[in-house]
Amino acid sequence: MNFGLKRFLTAFSLGMTGLAAAQAPVPTWELGKDFIDTALTKGKIELVDGVIKLDGTNSFDIPVSALGDQNDYTIELEFKRPANFKNLPRMEGALRLVSNRDSKAHSGLSLIYFPPAWDLNGGVSNKAGIEVNCYWSGECGGLDGEAFNKYSIVVKNKLAAIYRNGLLLAMTGEVNPSRLPLTIGGKGWRGEFVPDSGNGKPVPEPYELRSLKIYDKALSPTGYDRSAEMMRNCAGEGYSMQRVDIKDPALPRILVIGDSISMGYRGFITKHFKGKAYVDYWVGGGWLDPDSVKGENSKVKKSWSGVLSNGPYDVVSWNAMTLHMWNGIPGRCPEDSYPANMAEVVEYLKKIAPDTKFIWIRCTPCTTSADGKPVVINMTRTERIIKFNKLTDEIMIKYGIPEVDLYALCEKNLDKASKDGVHWESAASSLMADEIIKEIEKSLPEKHMENINKQK
């Protein structure tokens, strides 16, 4: 190779390297390079070999200006827990990683970590969780192994996505811009931070944080599969739901609402309507005690208003957490006030969603079984369910709302009951979904059903 050509290629290569460097995104704030104001720290904050150890009581703040206008931004950090780190006592809260949550303005977001064995009841353990605008938006994947894990919070057009090691864990609804600084460290919990009482103890082995970088633009992790399908967790006052991102506005929209029984059948409904309709999901429905229903600004009405604002929906299948309300716990659903309260909720729904078709899902029975004996209905637990099903039947008939009788279906399929006496095996959930799908398709506008039938 002659000298002139070699010099040209060298210069070209250096130029391309410089161009790539010039185009690489530059953090607006980076741990180890930018100043940590000691006036905005709590406890001992010390950077050693690029790592800060956080024990649940210490924290530091970063100016919120690092997020730019808060329409698009990215927060990246690497996080590691010690191998012997077992749990943080529940009453002292979980571990807060990042937060600019403003409880007064209902704005900002919070990423929280629940250590292994944190919930001694066997529930939440080794999970990350996200709060948006002070509302709990759900749990997502925790740490993978004992090494550093990279978490990325990517906000684009105010909508957040959370990644771990490049894997998309969760998506949320719109994050309202916050005026508060970003706090790294401390304690937190769903819905509110645990106040510093002065009695909290640091964890015996602190967790480690490094490679914290903030950008004023949305930067999805390299290699992320953009074809991945995931529902968006949207939360507001009194609700947390899952919503599909709409790509074809011409398709109908369906909302499935219910308790844990609906968690069994909703997947079958989603699968049936894939490519034909969008199916959203709300584990809820609102308590129906007098304190939750009465008044224009009642808890139930606020939650329903927030949920339906994610629509509009063509059809809603609805079971208002009946197994939780009708289990006999005093105050949850008094029999004397239930009919009037349910009627008030139905009238409210017809008022705020006049073009939506509602379908009521009748409550399923409780069961009991013994070794070697057939499964039977547990009448001690089911007597109240039978009574309230009948009370609800009268209300739905009055307002012209069709029902799907899952009680009768389960009564014929007791062999498909789960051993816990409440839930049902997948085979039963599939049968439930079939009955609900039939009623949904009866309620969908004719123009949509013509398109759905063409695809069958």
pLDDT at residue number 200: 59
Q: Are 414 and 382 in contact (CB under 8 A)?
A: no
pLDDT of residue 197: 41
Dihedral, CA of residue 309, residue 315, residue 316 and residue 317, to nearest 10: -170
Q: What is the pLDDT of residue 196?
A: 43
CA distance 376 to 355: 41
Question: What pLDDT score does 146 carry?
Answer: 83
**Angle formed by the axes of helices 379-398 and 338-352, to 10°?**
50
Divide the 456 residues of the chain into consecutive groups of 10 and give the mean pLDDT of each group.
Answer: 51 54 84 94 95 93 96 96 75 83 93 80 80 89 89 96 91 96 86 47 85 96 66 91 93 96 96 95 86 87 95 96 84 89 95 97 92 86 95 97 98 94 96 98 80 68
Is the pTM higher than 0.85? The answer reads no
Alpha-carbon gap, residue 58 to 316, rounded angstroms: 46
Give the model's pLDDT for residue 56.
87
- CATH number assigned to the domain covering 29-215: 2.60.120.200
The burial of 12, by beta-carbon neighbours within 10 Å (0-12 exposed, 13-18 middle, 19 or more buried), is given as exposed
Q: Is 94:203 a contact under the CB 8 Å cutoff?
A: no
CB atoms within 10 A of CB 98: 24
Classify residue 286 as left (phi > 0), alpha (psi -120 to 50) or beta.
left
What is the CATH code for 237-455?
3.40.50.1110
pLDDT of residue 3: 46
Predicted local confidence at residue 445, as pLDDT: 81
Helix/strand/coil for 255: strand
Domain ranges of the chain: 29-215, 237-455
